[in-house]
Amino acid sequence: MKSTVCRFVAVAATGFLSTTALALEDIDLPAGFLIEEFADVPGARSLALGENGTVFVSTRSGTAVYAVVPDGAGTRTIELVDGLDTPNGIAVHDGDLYVAELDKVTRYDDIESNLSAVPDGHILDIELPSKRHHGWRYIGFGPDGKLYISIGAPCNICDEDGFGLIVRMNPDGSGRETVAEGIRNSVGFTWHPVNGELWFTDNGRDMLGDDLPADELNHVTSMGQHFGYPYCHAGDLPDPKFGTGKKCTDYRAPAQKLGAHVAPLGVKFYTGDMFPAEYRNQIFIAEHGSWNRSKKTGYRVALIRLENGVPVAYEPFATGWLQKESVSGRPVDILVLADGSLLVSDDQAGKIYRISYTDSESQEKL
């Protein structure tokens, strides 16, 4: 797939990883699946889909938000707005683009009609903390039409009021309420396509060794549930400092324990028709990868298989960004396109990939 870039701005790669050039032939997928480059976007993070097929892309280390526009057989990338403060969170609702910076959310009206000249944004009346540790926001609109925002803990491990939450509100910022608490740092959530219940990833605390605690996939079944942080991790591990006198059974356990330090970010139910039927309404998770482990882990797209709404398997789906401790990319977010293909963003390589399915016999002829 061919891609071109308009008003392209380069972003330096992070320096703490041993890196290597990306080679898509190194990415392993199940038989019948194909991965290709969809677009170049520097520091590509969160993804959101417009009604006309525009893919909106945020950044975290950068200051801009981009649009990837279908262009014949390929795409072109447009820088929409720049000069923002950690614009990690993006969502599209009723044709408007919402961008979450560190301490504010801005709405850009009728965005797909104004890609070449974005109108001035309208800052919503929402009070958000300005602490930078875990201060990058993830946002989305639920099936209830409300805007959901994550508010991460401002530390590795601490107990501070007003943090460790997922909140929701009306699109104008009014009617705020807490959906879930006891969350260290969620950078991905989604809703079950049948019952509308919220699922989210959470990154576990650091400095308890290579294998503790497990990162989490969580399932919200009622408003205000507490998921344990900072008192209890992964449903059964009391915190050595904050867990004294606490019972893990008093908090909601994860629906699925993930690998320790895999850094699960974007999470989506597969709702398309392109993949085989066994993938329908199953969960994909982008694992950004460890920075704090003696041997690296993550750097892949994982699959959670459900039966009757309960996880029964946690397995790799797309791997290969990690090769012998050398990293070529870090998956961040996931998006299902209208044709049923799957997009995956990569903030290290500055890429968005498209994963599609064709039958094995046809793929062997490519």
pTM: 0.93
Quote the CA–CA distance of 126 and 313 in Å, as a whole number: 39
Report residue 1's pLDDT band, with 50, 70 and 90 as the boundaries: low
* Joined tokens for residue 16: 């703490």
CATH 2.120.10.30 fits 3-364, yes or no: yes
What is the pLDDT, as a whole number, of residue 23?
80
Quote the CA–CA distance of 358 and 223 in Å, as a whole number: 41
Mention every residue, 6+ apart, whose C-beta is less than 8 A from residue 144: 168, 196
What is the pLDDT, as a whole number, of residue 21?
76
Place of tokens 């097929």: 53
What is the pLDDT, as a whole number, of residue 17?
57
Residue-wise pLDDT for 42-74, tens only, equals 999 999 999 999 999 999 999 999 999 998 888
Q: At residue 111, what are phi and psi to the nearest 5 degrees?
A: -65, -40
Looking at residue 306, its amino acid is L
- Domain regions of the chain by residue span: 3-364
Direct distance between the N- and C-terminal alpha carbons of the chain, in angstroms, rounded to an integer: 14
Residue-wise pLDDT for 327-360, tens only, equals 999 999 999 999 999 999 999 999 999 999 997 5
* Joined tokens for residue 244: 């004294």
- DSSP for 132-158, please give it: -TT----EEE-TTS-EEEEE--SSSS-
* Joined tokens for residue 48: 């959101």
Report residue 11's pLDDT band, with 50, 70 and 90 as the boundaries: very low
Q: How far is CA 43 from the centre of its chain?
A: 13
Residue-wise pLDDT for 220-242, tens only, equals 999 999 999 999 999 999 999 99
